[in-house]
Amino acid sequence: MITVNVQYFAILREQRGLAQERLATAAGTPEALYGELRARHGFTLPADRIRAAVNDEFVASSASLRDGDRVVFIPPVAGG
Amino acid sequence: MFKISPEPIAPAALQRTLADARAGACVTFEGWVRNRNEGQPVLSLEYEAYAPLAEKEGGRIVAEARERFALLSAVCVHRVGHLQLGEMAVWVGVTAEHRGAAFDACRYIIDEAKARVPIWKKEHYASGATAWINCAVRGEHAIP
């Protein structure tokens, strides 16, 4: 198990009901962690619409998560 | 430079920072909150950003524009917060010796920023409903 800090934005923040949390997980990748959190909280966006960032940088959804990482799941963007 | 701003954008002050005796062209773009989207009356827009990564990715876009086009300077500022109709959501300003590079680079920056920078907008409709743009799904499937 590792402990990570997850930050939520936009639709994910609303569906989770909070902006960040610290949690212990057996997930080894952002994709696995999103799957776990989606099942727990009922996020509507499927994994293939989400990008991941770790420690303020984009990463592949298959990247390895490490203890203490700050993870952000990025819903489809809509600036401008 | 790419900045996320919780304060209203001040275009005149931003444009003054671009002043350069070598520049023969200055192209600016302003994105405004409009009252309709896809047929629905819109009352206001809420913008939210993942600021550290938004500024990093936005900075990369500005750097790409400077590599691709013969620019003298380039700046983009994107607003966050709850914006009313007519308010400015985004400002892009570029200078170049000649207008071709300036027009092309301004277009490049706003197009890439919309596609890549982690910023989200939620529309508030006259009906009272709200929606996060580009985040609609039907069952397991994305609505294109």
Structure confidence by residue, pLDDT tens digits, A59-73: 999 999 999 999 999
Which of A11, A53, A79 has the CB atom closest to B119's CB atom?
A: A79
The C-alpha atoms of residue A7 and residue A58 are separated, in whole angstroms, by 14
| ipTM of the prediction | 0.96
The domain spans of chain A are 2-74
Q: What domains does chain B contain, in order, with CATH numbers?
A: 2-133 (3.90.1170.40)
Domain A2-74 has CATH 3.10.20.30: yes
Let me know: does B83 contact B5? Beta carbons within 8 Å.
no
Q: Given CB atoms, is A30 within the 8 Å cutoff of chain B?
A: no
**Does residue B81 have a pLDDT over 60?**
yes
**Does residue B144 have a pLDDT over 80?**
no
Structure confidence by residue, pLDDT tens digits, A30-55: 999 999 999 999 999 999 999 999 99
Inter-chain contacts counted by CB atoms under 8 A, chains A and B: 86
Q: Given CB atoms, is B137 within the 8 Å cutoff of chain A?
A: yes
Confidence class of residue B38 from pLDDT cuts 50, 70 and 90?
A: confident
Q: Given CB atoms, is B122 within the 8 Å cutoff of chain A?
A: yes
**What percent of chain B is predicted at pLDDT more than 90?**
90
Residue with token string 């500024």:
B55
- Min Cα distance A45 → chain B (Å) is 7
**Region of residue A13 (left: phi > 0; alpha: psi -120 to 50; beta: else):** alpha
